[in-house]
Amino acid sequence: MFYKTILGEWSLQKSLIRQILVLGGSFLFFCPLLLAQEDVQNDIENNYQALSQVWQEHPEQVYGSILFIALIIVICTFLLRFLQRFLCKGLSFRAGNWDVSDVMVGICFYFGFILLSAVLAESLASGEDQKYVLSLIVHLLSQTVACSFIYFFLTSFRGQSLRVLGLSKTGLSLQRVFLVIASYLVFVPIFLAAYWLSLANFVIWKITPASQPIAEQILNSQGAVFYLGVFMAVVGAPILEEFLFRMFLYTGFRKHLGPKAAIFVTSFVFALVHFNALGFFPIFVLGAFFNILYEKTQRLWIPILAHACHNGLTLFCLIYFVAK
């Protein structure tokens, strides 16, 4: 009975798991041929070279590692199901009334406004350091303005309540905060498994993954500029991105496509806009995790907190392990 209760709580049903595996696997083998570039960060390069050597000399270890990763994913999935019993208790999803056309217009406005702001920042900056600082400030302000416009449109022209927008205060408690953090920590092995599978795919195709200039800029900055970059990554990006992708895009797609297809489409777009070939598959899995949290609770602060934990942990590892 306890086993059945745990299985029934988690939102990823068997059919959805099959769809994600098929679609994700298809991308896993073909996307690197289209998106790979030449430069590489030191940490990624070391992992790539080590994995290449193991693949050439001991392929049986690679297959054994894949089986071990599969076992870890199964265990973490059971733990997530267990945690979700308490995290999602008493919460439900209420559909919005904006459609796909509203989503398309919102996307065009959002990214068009950010692109114009980035071009303006590029033209005003004189040096590399000034360009980086100005781009951070402009990016934060432009995203805030774009999200404010979307909020005004949904509340004024579509008559949406704070409950439908995921901004209701009900369900906010210290216990749920800890449950969100615990759920993310349990999810971390799944994300790492997706990363290593993606890296193994690059090794198989003998493709060198690209570097990430944003991470390099944060690591190379100092003083107030460094803390501004950290603030953008840990606070600004989670709030603004979750507002756009989970609240606006997911809810709009969900109305016409259903939860499963909306999870896939929103996660695909979420991974695509990060412009990272090596990270596409793990970011896709991460986006699906955020979408599931929002689907089961419709509380925007929950995926925001999970997103902040992810970015914070990533920065911590980059600063204290990779950079050193």
Per-residue pLDDT tens listing for the chain (324 residues): 433 433 444 444 454 454 445 444 544 444 443 344 333 344 445 555 665 665 666 666 666 777 777 888 888 888 998 888 889 888 889 988 888 889 988 998 898 888 888 787 777 767 666 778 888 888 899 899 999 999 999 999 999 999 999 998 888 899 999 999 999 999 999 999 898 888 877 777 777 766 667 777 787 888 888 899 899 999 999 999 999 999 999 999 998 889 999 999 999 999 999 888 888 999 999 999 999 999 999 999 999 999 999 999 999 888 887 655
Candidates 40, 68, 67; CA nearest to 52 is 40
Are 303 and 294 spatial neighbours (Cβ–Cβ below 8 Å)? yes
Q: Please enumerate in sequence order all residues whose Cβ is within 8 A of that of 311, keeping only pairs 6 or more positions apart, or say none.
A: 233, 234, 237, 238
pTM beyond 0.75, yes or no: yes
Residues in the chain: 324
Greatest CA span in the chain, whole angstroms? 66
Candidates 119, 85, 69; CA nearest to 11 is 85
Q: Which residue has the tokens 């959805």?
A: 16
For residues 206 and 220, give the distance between their C-alpha atoms in angstroms, rounded to a whole number.
29
